[in-house]
Each structure stands twice: as C-alpha cells, then as structure tokens.
C-alpha cells in the first residue's frame, strides 16, 4: 500500500508551549484514519500543519507525495477540508456553492459541470441542488460541505468533527455516506471527532494524541484487545483517591483509571472481582454507589491513555473553545 501521508518527528511550538511534540505516523491510501484526543492535545495543530495552515517548528511531513514545507501549493491542490464550523454561503444554492468552489480551483466549465453533477448525486442532493442553502436541514448542509470538499478530486479529505451538533439519526446517515465514499477507494479520509463511537465505526486505524504526543495507534479492535479482560466501573462518591490507592496495589488489577467520580479497572473475570472490590471498600469505610462490568470499548482505551473520558471533553467543550481562542489571541 502507498502511504499518502508521512509524518516524521513533527514539532510545533508557540513560545514555551509544545503543542505538537515530535509525532510520527503514516496514513495509507484509501484509509480512514481517526485522530482523537482531549482538548488541547495537539490534534488541531497537527491537522493545520498537514493542511499547510501552520508551519512546523521542526520535523517533516508529506501529503500526497509533497512536502508541507517545500511544496505547500501542491499539497493544497491534493487535499479537501471540511471544517468544523459551517462555511457555506447560505444565500447561494447548493449547486452555486459547489460551482464557486470549483472555480476557485480553476476547473474548466465542461469538467466542472460534470463533476458537480457527480457530487450532487453522490451526496443525494440532486433534487435540492437549486434550493438556497439557508433552507437546508443540518444534515443536508453537512453533506453539501463534504461534497464541496470533493469537487476538485482531492487525494486526501480532512473531516473535522463532521457530525458535530447533528441528531443521532442524521449522524448515522452521514456515517453511512462516509463509508460509501471511502468504498470507492479514490480518497483517503482523516477524521477528527469527539464522538468515540464514530471513530470506532468508521476508522480503519485510530491515533490517540495527548500532550502533543501520540500515545496509542492501531486498529480500534487491536486497541481494545490490548486492554483485555473486563472493565469494572465503580462509582465512588467520597474517598475515591483512597480506594484508588488501595486497589492499584493488587496484581490482578491490570489498569486503573479515575474519572468523573468513577474508578475503571481492567481485570480478568470481572464478575468475580466486583464483590472483592466492594468488600475492600467497606473495610476502608468507603461507600460504593454502583458497580458495572463490560468488555473494553474504545472509550475505555481513550480513558486509559488520556485519563479522561470523551464525555468529559464534550461537557467542557465550550470552556475549551474559550481557552483556545484566548491562547490564539495571545500567540
């Protein structure tokens, strides 16, 4: 397989802040590659470097065979970007939005008309092509944005939170559309998302980024298999640090993570270990609110490597965005 993206020891610093700290990875042609991590982990900075919106401090990377530092124009010709924030002109029709994008890429009229027709069919908006975008639903707008990113036939399409804010049914529809798009084998997809199940369903491989470093990278199933056994979640209202300290001493506790008033333990034969855990808590005078058991999920992997759940990241999202804006203004 051909590597359409290659990243080697990539760094990005803003003063004393190391936003990206020497990451290396590759993405194969035709792959859906998931890029996940807590707010401020370095995901967005990495994507901005790969799309030539930021220059790296050091290291190197190539996209579609072109260096992001030496041939940024060629990189831009070979990529499409679907931004997290809406970027359509709502006073234009769907067709006009696609046409304007194609003109920016200097696509001739004959080829432009043909490609726009193909894209409208692909995103299932043929019957809405001449309707003003302001009258589109959220799902229709997102499909149009994805379609717009494909008009100039990029080799790599970057999808930044492609289903953020959409209802569950619409989100699922977009997932199926992305799968069909990838099945053509003509475009490589780089996906950033806060929906852990989205990455699990769509991505061929997933990279977890934290503090500017890649802390885990593999297929979703392989990442889950690395945890092994069962995940036991213990709800603790008080003295959670005390219980955490006692439990991590036991050899049968493979991993233990604290988050949101819960302790998550990876153990073998979890159903047998729950009574033992509760008895230990009682001996320490610690009240256990609830206990549950399940097989490791990609969410558990995320918690294991970052110490936070993706739900915590979502709930703190607006605060994180405010902090990010503040940091950008002070750079």
Q: Which pTM value belongs to this model?
A: 0.81
Angle at which helices 240-247 and 270-283 cross, to 10°: 120
Q: Which CATH number fits domain 3-223: 2.40.10.10, 3.40.630.10, 3.40.50.1820, 3.40.50.300?
A: 3.40.50.300
pLDDT at 315: 43
As a whole number of angstroms, the distance between CA 171 and CA 320 comes to 23
Residue span(s) of the chain under CATH 3.30.70.260 come to 229-295
* Phi, psi torsion values for 20, nearest 5 degrees: -130, 125
pLDDT at 126: 95
What is the distance in angstroms between the CA of the first residue and the CA of the last residue of the chain? 40
Over range 1-23, report the average pLDDT.
94
**Torsional class of 231: left (φ above 0), alpha (ψ -120 to 50), beta (otherwise):** beta
- Residues whose CB falls within 8 Å of the CB of residue 57, separated by 6 or more in sequence, listed in order: 11, 12, 13
Given a cut of 80, whether residue 93 has pLDDT beyond it is yes
Element (H, E) at 127: none
Give me the percent of the chain exceeding a pLDDT of 70.
Answer: 93
Over range 96-111, report the average pLDDT.
94
CATH 3.40.50.720 fits 229-295, yes or no: no
State pLDDT tens for residues 65-84.
Answer: 999 999 999 999 999 998 88
Residue span(s) of the chain under CATH 3.40.50.300 come to 3-223
């Amino acid at each position: 397989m051909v590597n359409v993206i290659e990243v080697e020891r990539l760094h990005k610093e803003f003063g004393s802040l190391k936003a990206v700290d020497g990451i290396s990875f590759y993405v194969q042609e035709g792959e859906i590659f998931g890029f996940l991590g807590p707010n401020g982990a370095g995901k967005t900075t990495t994507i901005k470097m790969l799309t030539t919106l930021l220059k790296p401090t050091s290291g190197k990377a190539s996209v579609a065979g072109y260096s992001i530092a030496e041939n940024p124009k060629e990189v831009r010709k070979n990529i499409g970007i679907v931004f997290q924030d809406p970027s359509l002109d709502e006073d234009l029709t769907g067709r006009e939005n696609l046409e304007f994008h194609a003109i920016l890429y200097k696509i001739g009229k004959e080829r432009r008309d043909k490609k726009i027709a193909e894209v409208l069919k692909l995103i299932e908006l043929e019957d809405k092509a001449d309707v003003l975008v302001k009258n589109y639903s959220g799902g229709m707008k997102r499909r149009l944005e994805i379609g717009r990113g494909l008009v100039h036939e990029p080799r790599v399409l970057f999808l930044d939170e492609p289903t953020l804010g959409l209802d569950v049914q619409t989100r699922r529809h977009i997932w199926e559309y992305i799968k069909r798009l990838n099945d053509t084998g003509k475009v490589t997809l780089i996906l950033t998302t806060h929906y852990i199940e989205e990455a699990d369903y769509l991505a061929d491989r997933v990279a977890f980024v934290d503090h500017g470093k890649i802390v885990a990278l593999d297929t979703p199933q392989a990442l889950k298999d690395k945890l092994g056994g069962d995940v036991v979640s213990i709800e603790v209202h008080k003295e959670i640090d005390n219980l955490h300290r006692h439990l991590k001493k036991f050899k049968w506790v493979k991993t233990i993570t604290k988050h949101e008033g819960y302790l998550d333990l990876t153990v073998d034969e979890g159903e047998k270990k729950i009574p033992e855990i509760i008895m230990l808590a009682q001996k320490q005078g610690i009240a256990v609110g609830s206990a549950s058991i399940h097989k490791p999920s990609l969410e558990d992997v995320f918690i294991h490597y970052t110490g936070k759940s993706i739900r915590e990241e979502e709930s703190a999202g607006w605060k994180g965005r405010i902090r990010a804006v503040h940091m950008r203004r002070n750079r």
